[in-house]
Amino acid sequence: FLASFSSLNLVEAAPMFTLEHDIETPHGVLHVTMRGIPKGNRPIILTYHDIGLNHKSCFNTLFNYEDMQEITQHFAVVHVDAPGQQEAAPPFPSGYRYPTMDELAEMLPSVMTQLKVNSVIGIGVGAGAYILTRFALNNPSLVEGLVLIDIDPCAEGWIDWAASKLSGWTSNLVDIIMAHHFSTDELTENQELIQTYRLHIAQDINQDNLALFCGSYQYRRDLDIERPIVGLNEDTVNTCPALLVVGDTSPAVDAVVECNSRLNPTKTTLLKMADCGGLPQVVQPGKLAEAFKYFVQGMGYMQLQKVLRRVVGLFSPEPVAGGFGMRPAAHERRLWDAVNTNSFSFVLFAVCATHSSQ
């Protein structure tokens, strides 16, 4: 089992300066792991995992990726584990009431206060994406950007839907969570990945604690986010830039498209990854790291020079006025034009063009 985790790059990379904290909040204790040191007034990157996972099994593959390590030279990272989901978490006492999804979001300002952090760029998956979006709606001044992977903004519980897909199976909690993460094809075809995560969910996370977190997610309320209408609905509008990410065969595709329809189109980008199902941060960490790099550059952090060097690789030599120089091939010209506007749509086009040509 450990060997399979290593092969998927889920084992911790050589750590930078790392501290673990148990932070008291109005709704209980949160276990967080801080990697790196906050850089002046820059935001930190704050992650929140999905059900059935913890911060390591959800995000290590992504943060161990070379391009992502380049980014984390510029930002400290805080990984939040939902209550009771961290490695070796003790069981909750009898009668313990698990926080609601809204209360989980209300715990995050205490984390920022304790760590002396002014703002965050959030990366959330599934339940974690929901929590970070609720946090941003409640505290818009604390959130500079959101990367939302496999987000479902709707209130209806997923358990009934997942169980209906599993007719003929023994629908225990592990089966249902696997159907939440992975498509039917993935469950039958990608055996190494599926076996690794099935064992992790069944063996590495306290099952009673996991059931409580799943119950909280199942009974979430609708996020109540809307596209902006001037003067009417400021409280229900996400005001920060957002990157929505989903694999093109993920069980979450419809939910993510629905979320996209509720967000400000001038501040939101939807990245649907080809050849990817559930957990794109595990299955396609290179694509996601590259898209995230462009996302933070679009927010004004890091330099654009490295982007331009990468884009040059997409171009073909072609005569230009005054001599022979580097210019995009005809089918790439709209990308070249977009460079001059420094728009985020350009960089996502670059990601797709680069990977579709490989």
pLDDT of residue 318 exceeding 70, the answer is no
Q: Which two tokens stand for residue 52?
A: 């059935």
Three-state DSSP class for residue 18: strand
Per the structure block, which two tokens stand in for 289? 């790291």
User: Where does 121-252 have alpha helices with state H?
Assistant: 127-138, 158-165, 173-181, 184-189, 191-199, 207-218
* Highest-scoring range by mean pLDDT, 30-34, 165-169, 223-227, 264-268: 30-34
DSSP string, 217-258: HHTPPP-------TTT-GGG---S-EEEEEETT-TTHHHHHH
Edge-first strand listing for the sheet containing 143-149? 18-25, 28-35, 77-81, 44-48, 120-125, 143-149, 242-247, 268-273
The count of other CB atoms within 10 Å of the CB of residue 286 is 15
DSSP state of 266: T
Residue 344, pLDDT > 60, answer no
Which pLDDT belongs to residue 132? 98
User: What is the tens place of the pLDDT at every residue in 287-299?
Assistant: 999 999 999 999 9
**pLDDT confidence bin for 171, thresholds 50/70/90:** low
Residue 48: phi and psi, rounded to 5, are -140, 125
The secondary structure of residue 204, as a DSSP letter, is I
Query: Is residue 305 scored above 50 in pLDDT?
Result: no
Look at residue 50 and tell me whether its pLDDT is greater than 70. Answer: yes
Amino acid (one-letter) located at 217: Y
**Using an 8 Å Cβ cutoff, are 148 and 235 in contact?**
no
Confidence of residue 312 (pLDDT cuts 50, 70, 90): very low
Rounded to an integer, the average pLDDT of 235-258 is 91
Question: Three-state DSSP class for 37?
Answer: coil
Tell me if residue 43 falls in helix, strand or coil. Answer: coil
Instruction: Read off the pLDDT of residues 22-45 as tens digits, 9 standing for 90 and up.
Output: 999 999 999 999 999 988 889 999
Q: For every residue of 73-107, which 3-state class applies, written as one string?
A: CCCCEEEEECCCCCCCCCCCCCCCCCCCHHHHHHC
CB atoms within 10 A of CB 336: 16
Give the separation between CA 81 and CA 85, rounded to whole angstroms.
Answer: 6
Looking up tokens 């590259």 gives 290
SS3 149: strand
The Cα–Cα gap between 37 and 118 comes to 13
Q: What are phi and psi of 226, to 5 degrees?
A: -140, 155
For the chain, what's the residue count? 358
SS3 178: helix
